[in-house]
Amino acid sequence: MSHAPARRLIARAALCATLAGFSATIAAGFDLPTTRTDLSDADLTRVADVTRPTRDFSKAEQYEAMQAGATTSIDPVTEDSFSHISANIPFEEEQNFKLGNALFRKLWVSSPSSTQASDGLGPLFNARSCMSCHVNDGRGKPPEGGPSAVSMFLRLSRAAGTAEEEKAIASADVLNFPDPVYGHQLQDLAVPGLAAEGRMAIRYDEETVTLGDGETVSLRRPHYAATNLAYGPLDAATTISARVAPAMIGLGLIEAIPEADILGHADPEDVDGDGISGKAAIVRDHRSGEIALGRFGWKAQNATVRDQNADAFANDIGISTPDHPDAHGDCTQAEKKCLDMPTGVQKRLGEEEAPGPILDLVTFYSENLAVPSRRKASFPETLKGKRIFYESGCISCHVPKFVTRRDSPDKAQSFQLIWPYSDFLLHDMGDGLADGQQVGLASGREWRTPPLWGIGLTRTVSGHSFFLHDGRARNLTEAILWHGGEADKARNAFSSLSKDDREALITFLESL
C-alpha cells in the first residue's frame, strides 16, 4: 500500500518551504497560510491523527458513514437526496435556505417584463435558472443526441499572447482571455429578437481498452465543435472546452477546509517522488480582490461558493450581481445588437438584476446542501473495495478526510470531520483528458480533483451515470480508465485487478 498521503501530512513543514518557492516562481506576494491558526497544539495533533489514512480495513472507521460530519443528511434515498438542508442548521436559518432554494429554481425572463423582479435574462444565455443545469442539485450531462445542451456548455478562451498578458495571468489578475467575438462561453440561447451565438456539436470515437484479465472496455473519445455561429468564425487562437454542471452538495464544507490543510498535500515539484505533483490554484476573490486558494470549478478557478455562483449568474444566465455588475452578461463589444438590448436592472430594487440579497440567499442555499450519509459502509464487499482503492494509490489525489475550521463563519460547518475524497488541487491528467485550455495556473492538461462524496447516487438523483468534466464516461469504470498523467499508476493498478476486485472497488465508490 502507498503511504504517500500520510507522509505528506507528517512532512508538511518541508512541503511548505516548497510551496513558498513555487509561489515565488509565479508571482511575488502570494502569501497563503501554511499552518492552521484556528486550533490549539492539542487539537492540531488530534486532527492529524483523525485524518491520517487508515490501514485497518476490517471494519468501517468511526463516523465514516456520516461523511459530512454533523451536517450529513440521513433522509431516505430518493431523487431529492442532494436537495436536503444540512442536518445541524439552526431552525432560525431554515428560512434563508428555503428562500435561496426558491431563487435557485427561479426562471428568469427577458426584459422588459411585467415581472420586474424576474427579468434581465441574457440577452445571451445557456439556461434560465440555476436548477436548469443542476437538476435536483445534481450533476449535468451531455445532450446525448437531443436538441438541448442545457447543463453542458463550451468554455472559450485563448492563452496569453504577450508578456503583459502573461504577467496578468501570473499575478492572478485574469484566468485567461476571451474570444474577441463570443466571449468566455458559447451561449446557445438568446432572448427574442437576438440570434444565439451558436451550438455545440459532439462526435464520439469508440476506443477499445483491454484490461489485465483480458476483459475489454469501450471508451468514447469526444470531439467538440462550435457550429451555426451567428457572428462569424471563432478566433484562430480560441480553444473550446466542454463542461458539465457539477453536483451542489457539500460546498460550504469544502470552503471551510483550512487553506493550510489543502496546501499540505501540494507537492508541485514531486519532492516525495511518488509521481503525484498536486498544485495549488492561486486566484483572486471576486469581492475583495485578494489572493486566495482556488477550490471550486473544474479547474479550481473560484475561491468561494459565492464566486462560483456569481460566475454562473453572469455567464450561464446573463444576470448581473454585485460581483459581476455587467447587466449584458457575456456580450462582447463585437456583439453590438446584444449590448443594445434592454436589461433587467430596476433602480428601486438595486444596481444589479440580482442585487446583493439575492446572491447572498443563493449562496447560503448552495453552501448548505447536505451530503447524504454513506450506504453499506461496513459491508465486507465495500471494505474490500476501500482497501483496493487505498492500495491502488487513488488516495494520493482523492484524499479521504479533512477537519473543517473551528472558526468557520457558519457554525454548522465548524470543526467537522468530513470525507470528500479530494485534495482540491490541480493535477496533470494526461493527454486523454487534456482540453488544451489554460485557466489561471491550470494548464490544458490539469484538472482539479473532484470530490467523490455522493457519486454513488448520481443515477438516482440525476437520472444518468455520465462522469468526468464533459460526461464522456458512461460509468465509473470508464471514468477510471480515462485517468492518465499523474494518475497513470492508479489507473494501471485498476486495470490489472481481477474482475472481482474491480467490482469491489466500484462497490466502494457507489457507497460514497
Report whether pLDDT(423) > 60: yes
The per-residue pLDDT for range 88-130, each reduced to its tens digit, is 999 999 999 999 999 999 999 999 988 878 999 999 999 999 9
Distance CA 310, CA 355 (A): 11
Paired strand residues for 219: 207
Q: 315 phi and psi, to 5 degrees?
A: -90, -35
Paired strand residues for 125: 189
Average per-residue pLDDT in the chain? 93
Do residues 428 and 446 lie in contact, with contact meaning Cβ atoms separated by under 8 Å? yes
Amino acid at 453: W
Q: Where are the beta strands (DSSP E) in 326-401?
A: none
Distance CA 398, CA 479 (A): 14
pLDDT of residue 351: 92
Distance CA 503, CA 480 (A): 12
Amino acid at 200: M
pLDDT of residue 8: 40
Do residues 246 and 450 lie in contact, with contact meaning Cβ atoms separated by under 8 Å? yes
Instruction: For cell 452578461, name the residue.
Output: 329
Amino acid at 510: E
Do residues 15 and 35 lie in contact, with contact meaning Cβ atoms separated by under 8 Å? no
Which cell goes with 496? Answer: 490489472
pLDDT of residue 348: 85
Q: 159 phi and psi, to 5 degrees?
A: -80, 170
Report whether pLDDT(31) > 70: yes
Measured between alpha carbons, how far is residue 307 from residues 76, 117, 282 in Å?
32, 22, 14
Distance CA 512, CA 510 (A): 5
In the chain, the percentage of residues whose pLDDT exceeds 90 is 88
Provide the 3-class DSSP secondary structure of residue 209.
Answer: strand
Dihedral (CA of 435, 234, 128, 466) sign: negative
Tell me the average pLDDT across 312-318: 97
Report whether pLDDT(15) > 90: no
The phi-psi region of residue 69 (left if phi > 0; otherwise alpha if psi is between -120 and 50; otherwise beta) is: left
Amino acid at 357: P
Tell me the average pLDDT across 137-162: 88
Distance CA 11, CA 146 (A): 51
Which cell goes with 380? Answer: 465486507
Dihedral (CA of 484, 489, 492, 498) sign: negative
Q: 135 phi and psi, to 5 degrees?
A: -60, 130
* Nearest residue to 427 via CA among 511, 378, 483: 483
Let me know if 324 is exposed, middle or buried by CB neighbors in 10 A (0-12, 13-18, 19+): buried
The per-residue pLDDT for range 426-480, each reduced to its tens digit, is 999 999 999 999 999 999 999 999 999 999 999 999 999 999 999 999 999 999 9
CA angle 499-211-435, nearest 5°?
Answer: 120
Report whether pLDDT(5) > 90: no
pLDDT of residue 145: 63
pLDDT of residue 11: 39
Distance CA 190, CA 255 (A): 34
pLDDT of residue 4: 44
Largest separation between any pair of C-alpha atoms in the chain: 68
DSSP single-letter state for residue 230: B
Q: Which residue has the higher pLDDT, 15 or 39?
A: 39
